[in-house]
Amino acid sequence: MDEHILICIFVLAAGACIGSFLNVAALRALSKESIVFPGSKCPKCNTPIKWFDNIPVLSYFLTFRGKCRSCGEKVSVQYPIVEALTAVLFLAVFLAFGISVETLLLIVLLCISIVIAITDLREEVVFDAHSWILIITALIFSTYENDLRFAVTGCLMAAVIMEILARISYYIIKKDEVKDEQNQECSAETENKTEEISDINKYIKQKKRAFGEGDTYLAAAVGAILGVKYFIVALVCAIILQAICILPQFLINLYKQKEIRLLTSIVLFALFSVLYFGLANFVELSLTAVFIIVAALIFFAADVIIRLKKTVNKNGFKAIPFGPALLFTAFVILFFSQYVMGFIKKFIFMI
């Protein structure tokens, strides 16, 4: 067998094994357990997992088939997904950079990013220790690839941009004080159902920011890797990606809450956006047509912001992890920056 193929197989296997460890590292960080002892166990009955049930990816489907042998508890599909994803990412980095310092640094960046994504998605938590490891590794990688000034400038500017967004967003979506005491009264059942949302609104009010400090740390790391220009691109792409992921459920919730006016404004904004970018790529629009469409976009965007604020005041604010989307777009741009920028220039700015 060709030596290169053997190396690729080894990289895949190593990636899957490390992916298994990343699962443990993330989940035990949340449970505040040691990542070394005890060994792998069932999260429900704490029965140690046999070695043949601990083979990355394969064991989940071939041996214990997604259930604990002792208690029958269903094992989360997160385990094989993270293992397979890590294996594929390791192989992609190896094929792109070969055996090099860049490969080693990128693997560290990917590993800590996966851990952060898991904790953020599961519990909306980004640990400071993980963030600082990511930032330091990002600075080392960027200094090696570019220079120290590029890395530090990108890191600091990205953090500043993220902090400004956090403060501005707070004043856009903050929940107003309820003056009517009757609106503050609720049943015990309602309190239990809205406990998470209440905690989030309390955090927003106390910190005067729309999202956590953890996202600023992640932005600093992304800025160090990509630089200021590409960080802004990654930030915008992450916002769009997150919007696409949450929009269907968000619209369904608006319909259930009978927020018809807000729902209508969002749909019209989307339609005018599609109309503008669709027509601009096929026909030459007159200045008048561009002005009318852009004016409509601004009007509906403003209307969405105003009515979204009113909805937040009435129903509270539900936090959605932003870190994973930012990290995903950052790595996409890192590997495919030419294709991403080409797409933006052609289909967004029509250059």
Higher pLDDT, 276 or 196: 276
pTM (2 d.p.): 0.80
| Residue boundaries of the structural domains of the chain | 3-99, 149-174+201-348
**What are 159-162's contacts with CB under 8 Å, separation 24+?**
159/216, 159/217, 159/219, 159/220, 159/223, 161/219, 161/223, 161/231, 161/232, 161/235, 162/215, 162/216, 162/219, 162/220, 162/235
Whole-number Å distance between alpha carbons of 281 and 279: 5
Mean pLDDT for the stretch of residues 71-99: 89
pLDDT, tens digit, 9 for 90 and up, residues 303-346: 666 666 566 556 555 567 888 999 999 999 998 888 887 777 66
* Helix, strand, or coil (residue 314): helix
Mean pLDDT for the stretch of residues 247-256: 74
**φ and ψ of 41, to 5 deg:** -145, 165
Higher pLDDT, 152 or 37: 152
For 23-37, 45-59, 169-183, 310-324, which range has the lowest pLDDT when averaged over its residues? Answer: 169-183
Higher pLDDT, 172 or 2: 2
Whole-number Å distance between alpha carbons of 36 and 273: 51
Quick count: other Cβ atoms within 10 Å of Cβ 284? 8
Q: Which two tokens stand for residue 196?
A: 């998470």
Mean pLDDT for the stretch of residues 181-200: 46
Alpha-carbon separation of residue 83 from 63, 90, 127, 194, 287 (angstroms): 16, 11, 22, 34, 52
* Helix, strand, or coil (residue 40): coil
pLDDT, tens digit, 9 for 90 and up, residues 218-247: 999 999 999 999 999 999 888 888 877 777
Q: Which two tokens stand for residue 254?
A: 């608006």
Q: How confident is the model at residue 104 (pLDDT cuts 50, 70, 90)?
A: very high
Over 50: is that where the pLDDT of 177 sits?
no
Q: For residue 248, is the peptide bond before it cis, meaning its omega torsion is within 30 degrees of 0?
A: no
Whole-number Å distance between alpha carbons of 95 and 91: 6
Alpha-carbon separation of residue 9 from 101, 164, 189, 215, 295 (angstroms): 20, 45, 54, 35, 55
Quick count: other Cβ atoms within 10 Å of Cβ 115? 24
How many helices, marked H, and strands, marked E, lie in the chain?
13, 0
Q: For helices 213-256 and 323-343, give the axis angle rounded to 10 degrees.
A: 90
Q: Are 23 and 78 spatial neighbours (Cβ–Cβ below 8 Å)?
A: yes
Quick count: other Cβ atoms within 10 Å of Cβ 223? 31
